[in-house]
Structures are given as C-alpha cells and as structure tokens.
Chain A
Amino acid sequence: MEVRQRDDPDLNLPSFTSRPGVDPTSEGFWRAAGEGRLELQRCAGCASHRFPPAPICHVCGSDDSTWAALPGTGTIYTFTWVPDPGRRDESGSPAWANIVVVDLDGVSGRGVRMVSNLVDCHEPGSIRVGQSVTLECVHLEEGLGLPCFRSEP
C-alpha cells in the first residue's frame, strides 16, 4: 500500500508529536505501518489479537505470537480537537489537530481500540462518532511509519 510522506501539506498531522518508542515488543507495529499495513500481535495459542503490544498473551498466557495484518478499516469511537500552535494559518490562528480513537475491524478476542489521527479532516465539525475510517499510513524514518486513518474509503 502507498505510504504518505510526513510533510505532505494535505495531511493534518499534529506538530507536537514524539518519535515512536521502538523496542523488540513494539517494533513490528511501527515497521508494518512503514510498509502501509496495520498489524497487531496475534497469539499463536488462542488466536487473540492484542494491543498495545505485549510480550505475553493476556488471555491464555502464551509467549508465542505473530504479527498479523488487519483489514485497516474501523469506526471512530471518540475524538478530540486540540489547537496546534506549531502550525498557524495566514491570520496567525493555530491549526486544529485531531486525536481519534478507532475501533478496529477484524480483531479476534476482546476488541482493540487504538489512538490515531484522521489525516484528511482539518476542521472541528468534520469528525463524528460512528463514522467509518480507512488506514492511511505515514512514513517516518528508517522504515518506520504511523498507522493513521482517513475518512474517505
């Protein structure tokens, strides 16, 4: 899948982010996004997906898991808009950054909701609870990516 560039002016990405923490447990999540996929750990013992990444399965206790791709669709569970003083329009007003919680499709087990951004929504009023969203990954550095979403299919 196509991976968008971080400096693409069409994307609404907050300026106040941090780089991801990459360690043996989390690395697969960020690497998959760098290649345009949304992957979660799936337990080899009981087939439950889990998030956030963890070294053991919280359902059955198994050590064994594989990274498994999800369809990359989901539903907005909740959201917020935060002023982003690091990005201003011509009048000097701060841009609006969004932070969303996406209820992911295709998850086995107790369900997964992840924090992300809806990169094609720029203004308050353009996001609503229950709307469908689709994966839109954004390139970071060294093969890492951010699994973001867009509102258009």
Chain B
Amino acid sequence: MSAASTPVQLRDRACIVGIGHTEYAKRGVFESVGSFELAVRAIRAACEDAGIDPRDIDGFTSFGGDESTPSEMQLALGSKNLRYASTPWGGGGSGLPTAVLNAVMAVACGVAENVAVVRSIVQGRRRLGGNVNRDEDEPPSRGFYYQAPFGFVVPMAIYALRTQRHMAKYGTTIDHLADVAIAARRYSAHNPDAVFRDMLTREQHHASRIVADPLRLFDCCMESDGAAAVIVTSAERASDMRARPVYVRAVSTRSPNRWHPVNYTEEEELFASSGHAAAAEDVFRAAGIGPTEIDVAEIYDGSTGGLIMATEDWGFCARGEGGDYFSDGQSALGGSTPINTHGGNLAEVYLQGITHLVEGVRQLRGTAVNQVDGAEVALYSSGLGYPPHGGILLRS
C-alpha cells in the first residue's frame, strides 16, 4: 500500500492541549439551556484547561449534525478570527475521528492555530435513538431506503442484527452482553461525572426490557444531555502550553467497501464486526504502534454487542472472543487492555464519543479517576455506525 494512503506525515504534528465539558444529565434536563450554550461552556472550559484565551480559538470542528454553528460560537466566545470550520460528510455518531482529523490537518498545515473540537447534545425533544422516519407517508431517507419499508427504522436494530449473528457464529451469549454493561458500571461507580453509577447485576440486565432482540435496555447507550470539547493545536505551539501535551500519533477514517451498517453485501468475517479492521490497520501502520502497545482504549459503545465487535476489530482479542474479553476481566484495570475507563456511553454519558476522547487525554496526563498506571498510549475508536468511521491514537 502506498504511503499516501496512510497519513504518516501527520504523525505527532498536532496535540490535544485542553479538555473541557459541562455537567452531564439524563435526557431533557438541559433542554431549556440548549445545545448551543452547552457547546460554548464546554469550549470555554477546554480553553481554561489549556490556558488559551477563547478569543484565540480560530477553528471549530464537530460531527453528527451538531446544531452549534461556528459563526455563532465565534460571536459567543469573542474569537478574533474564524479561519477554519468543518463537519464530516456522513459518519453520524462515528464522525469524531474525521472531526479530529480535520482539526489536525488544519493546524498541521497552518490553516488555523487553535481548533476546538466540540460535540453538544440535548435529547429532550429530538431523540437520536428514535424512529428514523419522521413521517411514514414520506419515502425514507436514502440511508434506510431498502430497510424502512420493512420496519427497520430504529437505530438499535443496526446493533441487534450484527449481535445476533455474532452470537450464532461465535457462541457469544446474553451473559457476555451483561458483563460488558456491568464492566461499564464498575468504572462509572468511581466517576463523579457519570449519569449512571449504581452497580448492575446479570439478573437486572436480563430482566430489563427487550429493545431489539437480543439487546435489552441495559445493552443500549443512554439518552443524555451535555457537551464536551478538546483543543487541538500544532506540536510546536503545544510545547508552550499549560498542560502536558497529548500527541495525536495517528488518525484513520478508512472504511471498507464491503461493510455498511444496513446494506449487507459484506464478506462473512466482516458482518459480525464493527467494520473497523481496515481503520485499525491504517492507524497501526501510520503510528508504528500495534495493539499490544496500547495501554488503554476508549471505544464508542452504542451497545454492548457493538463494543464486543470493535474490541475484536482492533485486535485486543481474536475474532469471536470479545465476549470472553469482558467476562474474564481483561477490560478492567489490571486486564490486558482496559476499555472505557470512564464508563462510556453505557454509564457515563452519551455524547457520541467525545467524552471517550477526553478520557483518553486524562489517562495520558495521569489524571483519570480510574487511572491506568503509566499509560503512554491511548486509542479512541468510533463504534458500529456510519462510515466514514475510524480511530485516533494518542500518545503522551
């Protein structure tokens, strides 16, 4: 494969120098505040963390159809110049790697100096997990053109169909799924920011209502409100900042042709997967770092089943053994690679992955509540969702 297809030239060129977030809450709590105000507050907190004046933020990136617009954020923050703003084309909740890649490219080539990557969500009125068809008398969106007429209109069915296949093919069980949800609560119990901090048992998991068989309520990411942001700047400028810089070692948004969330022509071994094996290959090649050298992984967990598949895609265990990885405690502190040390979308908050990125930075600064001793390399991965998806490798 040619060098151009793996962005080695971006290696260590940009750093995350600030992280910030709002309070997190169950869906609807911040409806009257609104996602825009939450976004501004998260960016200001990230600027304070970095020791950067918000007036010096000159770029914004986001993803997932964020409703906060760059021009309004510029006004609210007093940013002197807006030099760069973008969101990915497609990707949905899997868009964070593209949003970070956009920020990294912008600062690496001098288009902008300090780019805020932000995601803000309030779900009081608009529920991201609800029916994708707003009006059943209208044709479906192109993404569900050959699915919605058969009632495939709830996002959780995307996870359910692949999880069912994973169970049939590899012997993954409902207990495995429960253990993934329990592992998230074991971490979130220590996280004062987390929305769900109570411990969970297999029995409670099994008794929760079916959302899309085999997935139950406790297999699903939560519906919540909040915002988080990180500040990306060039490696040169990062050395003068307040916090120890965290380098973006590699990013890839490589998404293979034969993997699509709802149009299933993919090869057999790709079906029961999150589709991230190709991005993993590119991230590892661009970084010169392999899965055994990753100290901690923060992986978008839209569902327990999706997290099992992504864990396999990144090579933390063999394909089909993702359930055992969680049941055997390999995702816990002291396990082979701890995963979602903040509690993730299942237990901390659902902000489509940006809080996972924030946690990755904390781990490399040594300031996480569930700290992995001596962590030097952290992975962010998007989850089972819409391409372009991918991963971000951070190093201290």
The answer on a CB contact under 8 Å between B213 and A18 is no
The reply on A79 being an interface residue by CB < 8 A is yes
Q: Say yes or no: A78-B164 contact (C-beta < 8 A), given A16-B133, A113-B264, A115-B147.
A: yes
Main secondary structure on B side of the interface with A:
loop
Instruction: Using C-beta atoms within 8 Å of the partner chain, give the interface range for chain A.
Output: 35 or more
Which A residues are CB-close (under 8 A) to B150? 14, 17, 99, 115-117, 146, 148
Q: Which residue of A lies closest to B145 (CB)?
A: A21
Q: Mark B135-161, 1 if CB is under 8 A from A, else 0.
A: 111111010111111111110010011
Chain A residues numbered 1-43 whose CB sits less than 8 Å from any CB in chain B: 13-22, 26, 29
B-facing residues in A100-120 (Cβ within 8 Å): 101, 110-117
Known contacts: A19-B136, A52-B145. The answer to whether A129 contacts B168 by CB under 8 A is yes
The answer to whether B162 touches A78, judged by C-beta atoms less than 8 angstroms apart, is yes
User: Using a Cβ–Cβ cut-off of 8 Å, how many residues does chain B contribute to the interface with A?
Assistant: 39
A16-B168 in contact (CB<8A)? no
Indicate if the CB atoms of B213 and A82 lie closer than 8 Å: yes
**Minimal beta-carbon separation of B324 from chain A (angstroms):** 20
Complex Cα gap A117–B152 (Å): 10
Find chain B residues with CB under 8 A from A80 CB: 157, 160-161, 164, 212-214
Decide yes or no: A82 and B264 within 8 Å by CB, A16-B133, A17-B153, A26-B145 being known contacts. Answer: no
Does A133 touch B at the CB level, under 8 Å? no
The CA-CA distance from A26 to B148 in the complex, in Å, is 14
Q: Does B165 interact with chain A (Cβ within 8 Å)?
A: yes
B153 interface neighbour in A18, A29, A112, A114, Cβ under 8 Å = A18
Q: A17-B149, A26-B145, A124-B213 are in contact. List 4 more A-B contacts (CB 8 A).
A: A18-B138, A82-B211, A83-B210, A146-B150
A residues adjacent to B (C-beta < 8 A): 13-22, 26, 29, 51-52, 77-84, 97, 99, 101, 110-117, 124, 129-130, 146, 148
